Structure 1
């Protein structure tokens, strides 16, 4: 029922124009997100990046990335991508043991394939769910109706959430927040140019997100665009 509920444009909607029936509300959320970024996230990220040495930032990013791999495994299984599930499981096992929990990345040095980096939004795409309307969420930023449902389900798809006891099961969340601040500081110039130097930062963010997301679902690699609200890893730890 949730999948059927995804909105879609009518026949008169131009195919090359974003389907954004909630634009008025989206712009209000975008203004809120800009205010939070300007007042809190941007200054915090700059202080964080200036305080921590680059090697430690990278290690924390690896740790967060490694803890997210079990969720990729689950989504690969749901997508019928058993090859990706097996490769991700092997990478997780190597980096968790030999790599001391993921702070190091021996899997890459061994030549193992990079993680598939998937999510439940992509699972819905594989299952045939429509993209739906463009939406911007408070703090989470740009998305679509399909990806919004995907983000909600992804809160429950990581098996580590159920295996680890408290407070160990919160380590991944803390590492992800830390990694997000690191990325915001590292890519500050590019993100600031999108959010604060564009004639219409809302339209710019919408265009960048939709182009990036549609390209990702095609399993391409596009380094032309940067989603200012997501982790902008291309090959995050092969540096």
Structure 2
């Protein structure tokens, strides 16, 4: 993607992270004509089921369902998100290329260390992308992201903002299940927490809870690390 400003860029540590936590938000904004993208930091190659080729195909299918403008794979090592300057600079380069208005990242508290690492790395990359004297590549102009929001993967907490995704919830569910190797059990797949019926039920229950809080059937909760601005209340 060149020469276009990305409206929303969502980072995930693994393919399927964004679909779980913010798939509805991306589907909704894509349907509204906004440009949306996902950046997977790893190929998820250490997952119990599936392999790199399979997960890449699943991610492409999920992207089609969500109507993504673009999907990028950094190829950092699974369980190797060190937050090194080299890794952060690669993320800075992408942010400066795609120029997102809004960036989404995993919530900074999660049972998976890679999700926590991704959250911190996005924070650093967004910050560095705006520094004029800190260029990840010669000739690239700095870019300042308007807002960063954090989405939930395995857990739930108090949301600062809930987006109504009721009308696109079927697409979110379809996008998650596009990752068949992760969420659908089979004779050639080992049992994991992800492919048990309780996991998808947890995600849907959480989205229903957030939807109930705003008077709709389904919602996705986001957290902001900074105060949200409102010019006036009425």
- Do the two structures share a fold, i.e. TM-score over 0.5? no
TM-score, normalising length: structure 2? 0.22
> TM-score, normalised to structure 1's length?
0.22
Larger helix proportion of the pair: 1
Query: Looking at CA atoms only, which structure, 1 or 2, has the larger radius of gyration?
Result: 1
Which of the two has greater strand per residue? 2
